[in-house]
Amino acid sequence: MWLKAFSVAVLALCAGAAASNLDRYEGYNKYTVFHNGEDAFNYLVDLQTESTELDFWLLTRNMSVVTVSPTEQSTFEARLNELNAQFVAKPLMEEMAAFNETLGACEGSECELNRPRRQARGFFSHFPRYSEVLNYMSALAARHPHNCRYESLGRSSEGRHIAALSISLNSRVRDRRVAYIQSATHGREWITPLTVLYLANELLNNLRAFQRVLQDVEIYLVPLVNPDGYEYSFTNDRFWRKNRHRYGGRSCAGVDINRNFPNNWNYNGASQNLCSEVYSGTGPTSEPETAAVARYLEYNRHRVKLSLDVHSFGKFLFYPYGYSRNAVAPTRNLLHSVAQRAANQIAKYRGTHYTVGTSASILYEASGGLDDYAYGNLGIPMSFTVELPGENFQVAPSDIIHICKETFAGFIEFIRHVSLY
């Protein structure tokens, strides 16, 4: 009886948290827009940087996913019709309610029988909060003191640690090569830190199996680059993207960390409107989060051979340059080949297909990202952005482990190429 009451209380708590972080989205519609013409595409690109009432979840050259406030829906639909762009509109809260039912169903005791016990009880069966992530990282380091070091890159706008794990065959030896991997640059992308932590867990628990991959390579992982935005997406706004930098006297807050790195800063796909989802900040690395990452990479620029920035969603593997369609990386062929090999390894698990190329050619031009900065400014030879699977930012809890496993295969393939340098 007590267990049943406890389960009901947990479900009620989860439902309450879900409701509170979705309160502002009552009346919003989620639009899936199909646009083959340049006019419609350009219209949407302009909206992304100019409008504060639309939130782009995905923007490609022929299809986009965007949420629109009630006040802007009629204008948005009229303009799409003028541009002959087909679209499907669905109330956002309906979609989120369906997800929350799935989430709740997998929290009760009756759901335990439908999943492997180890998976049901494991860390990778739910979306952890900031403190749980840090506790998990600390525990990994404590269990593997000779191969794992837990440290902080610095602090966020709100004072949270930007925690990191260093993994190597001998944590006391400074390896010549570093593979740097970060995630949760955008707060709402909850699946991303789990894939990075799964990599850490698998490597540390199977060191012998991966001894060749780790030979003279340090794996440096930063699962929550944007800890403030990540926490805020749980407590206040499920779809919060930026950090939580607040400006005195202004109601809008936050900078898009993915537009704040100093490669062609604010050149394309970014905004100087403080309220924009792609606000690029007051200057390059103006944010403590980007500054912390830049300090680490610049100090270790001659050791870091791989930079991965893990995002969600879309099933893409991007390489530089993203700031312009006309900018071509000198080693484009190598970058494409490595990314395609990683995509092939991911596909072996359950057939998930990733598209490989530059974000500027597949999506839209956007400046200030980590991949362009690591490759273009620091000379890190292999720099990529990973966009994980999904139809939106919600992933069913039962699918977490599968995304982690398939992404792990891609991570290992990327890391394997570090030995080339």
CATH code: domain of residue 80: 3.30.70.340
Phi and psi angles of residue 83, each rounded to the nearest 5 degrees, phi first = -90, 5
Mean pLDDT of 293-322: 96
Mean pLDDT of 71-93: 92
Over the chain, what is the mean pLDDT?
Answer: 88
In a domain, 112, yes or no: no
For residues 303 and 339, give the distance between their C-alpha atoms in angstroms, rounded to a whole number. Answer: 21
For residues 146 and 169, give the distance between their C-alpha atoms in angstroms, rounded to a whole number. Answer: 8
For the cut 70, the answer to whether the pLDDT of residue 59 exceeds it is yes
For the cut 80, the answer to whether the pLDDT of residue 304 exceeds it is yes
What confidence score (pLDDT) does residue 19 get? Answer: 57
pTM more than 0.85? yes
pLDDT digits (tens, 9 = 90+) for 85-128: 999 999 998 878 766 655 544 443 333 334 434 443 589 999 99
CATH number at residue 366: 3.40.630.10
Containing domain of residue 15, as a range? 2-105
Find, among 171, 196, 194, 162, the residue nearest to 294 by Cα: 162
298 tagged catalytic:
no
In a domain, 110, yes or no: no
94-103, 273-282, 357-366, 374-383: the lowest-pLDDT one: 94-103
Residue at which a domain ends, from 105, 131, 153: 105
Q: 314, 61 in Cβ contact below 8 A? A: no
Looking at the fold, whether 168 and 277 belong to one and the same domain comes out as yes
For the cut 50, the answer to whether the pLDDT of residue 3 exceeds it is no
In a domain, 115, yes or no: no
What confidence score (pLDDT) does residue 11 get? Answer: 41
Residue at which a domain ends, from 71, 105, 139: 105
Provide the number of structural domains found in the chain. 2
pLDDT digits (tens, 9 = 90+) for 8-52: 444 444 445 555 788 888 999 999 999 888 899 999 998 888 888
In a domain, 118, yes or no: no
Residues near 65 by beta carbon (within 8 Å), at least 6 away in sequence: 30, 31, 32, 33, 56, 57, 58, 59, 392
Of 107, 189, 387, 406, the active-site residue reads 387
Work out whether strand 161-167 and strand 217-222 pair parallel, antiparallel, or are unpaired.
antiparallel
What confidence score (pLDDT) does residue 13 get? Answer: 46
In a domain, 111, yes or no: no
For the cut 60, the answer to whether the pLDDT of residue 62 exceeds it is yes
In a domain, 116, yes or no: no
Looking at the fold, whether 91 and 171 belong to one and the same domain comes out as no
Name residue 387's beta-bridge partners: 311, 316
pLDDT digits (tens, 9 = 90+) for 199-252: 999 999 999 999 998 999 999 999 999 999 999 999 999 999 999 999 988 889
Confidence of residue 5 (pLDDT cuts 50, 70, 90): very low
Residues near 419 by beta carbon (within 8 Å), at least 6 away in sequence: 177, 215, 216, 217
Looking at the fold, whether 141 and 229 belong to one and the same domain comes out as yes
Burial degree of 299 (CB within 10 A; 0-12, 13-18, 19+): exposed
Confidence of residue 373 (pLDDT cuts 50, 70, 90): very high
